[in-house]
């Protein structure tokens, strides 16, 4: 169990500040909330936190996840069939907060939030113990127009930056970033079978010219060697589909959470160096 004195207002900043003191890149783990069930998912994220994950991203299950590849689409389908809903995802975070202070970022599409109530979601997610949100289908320019993301709330609006973004777009996105930046190692949907681009260091350098916000890199990272390579040129490594695939393959095993923790640990160790 990893506990610290940080509150939900500063968990992301506190985590990255502590890592920066020793120049240690962060390991960010993604799982679909409620996959394969809410209870099993709680065990999984607790186990991932216990073996050293610095941030956990929880995907909110949605019936039409267009930005996701087959691995994450199937995870969302499993979670929805098992009864996962946005209120239950928030309850999952509340349970996690009883034992752990690892920062949590919610990945979601707009549809579930508007069905729930957009501003109500921001308030309730923050109250449950979430630290940030990444809205996959809300253009950053429109996000800036939403009062729900005003400074009166502490839920950080995480920014995605693609390697194909023009320089002026990278500058604009970097300057408005909060918490940390999710830099895509390559273009495409999640879970596609392609390794991280060897030019990711150039993309990270472009971003860091315009911000002090940590830059973490995801997409296509599946092995410790790949994690170490990405960690050498960024502030953090994000692994998602590889973990979700392990959950799918071991969903019926009694020791599911231990198997996932065992898979993630070498990736964390490679990232931390």
Cα four-point dihedral sign 10, 13, 19, 21: negative
What are the residue numbers of the active site? 57, 68
**Contacts of residue 220, Cβ cutoff 8 Å, sequence gap at least 6:** 185, 186, 192, 194, 195, 196, 226
Taking Cα atoms as reference points, which of 234, 244, 231, 235 lies closest to residue 270? 231
Cα four-point dihedral sign 179, 96, 138, 216: positive
Give the count of beta carbons closer than 10 Å to the beta carbon of residue 136: 17
CB 171 within 8 A of CB 210: yes
Alpha-carbon span 134 to 26, nearest angstrom = 18
């Amino acid at each position: 169990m990893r506990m610290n004195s940080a509150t939900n207002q500063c968990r992301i900043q506190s985590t990255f500040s502590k890592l920066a003191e020793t120049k240690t890149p962060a390991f960010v783990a993604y799982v679909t909330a409620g996959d394969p069930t809410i209870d099993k998912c709680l065990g999984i994220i607790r186990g991932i936190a216990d073996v050293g994950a610095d941030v956990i991203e929880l995907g909110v299950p949605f019936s039409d996840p267009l930005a996701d590849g087959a691995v994450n689409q199937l995870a969302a389908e499993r979670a929805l069939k098992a009864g996962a809903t946005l209120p239950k995802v928030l309850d999952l975070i509340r349970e996690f907060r009883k034992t752990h202070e690892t920062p949590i970022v919610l990945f979601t599409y707009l549809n579930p939030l508007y069905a729930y109530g957009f501003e109500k979601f921001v308030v309730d997610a923050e109250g449950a113990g979430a630290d940030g949100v990444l809205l996959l289908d809300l253009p950053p320019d429109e996000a800036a127009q939403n009062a729900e993301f005003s400074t009166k709330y502490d839920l950080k609006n995480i920014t995605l930056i693609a390697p194909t973004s023009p320089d002026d777009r990278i500058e604009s996105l970097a300057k408005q970033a909060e918490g940390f930046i999710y830099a895509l190692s390559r273009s495409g949907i999640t879970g596609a079978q392609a390794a991280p681009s060897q030019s990711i260091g150039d993309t990270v350098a472009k971003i860091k010219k315009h911000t002090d916000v940590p830059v973490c890199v995801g997409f296509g990272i599946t092995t410790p060697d790949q994690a170490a390579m990405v960690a050498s040129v960024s502030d953090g490594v994000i692994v998602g589909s590889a973990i979700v695939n392990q959950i799918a393959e071991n969903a019926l095993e009694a020791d599911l959470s231990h198997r996932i923790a065992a898979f993630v640990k070498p990736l964390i160790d490679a990232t931390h160096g």
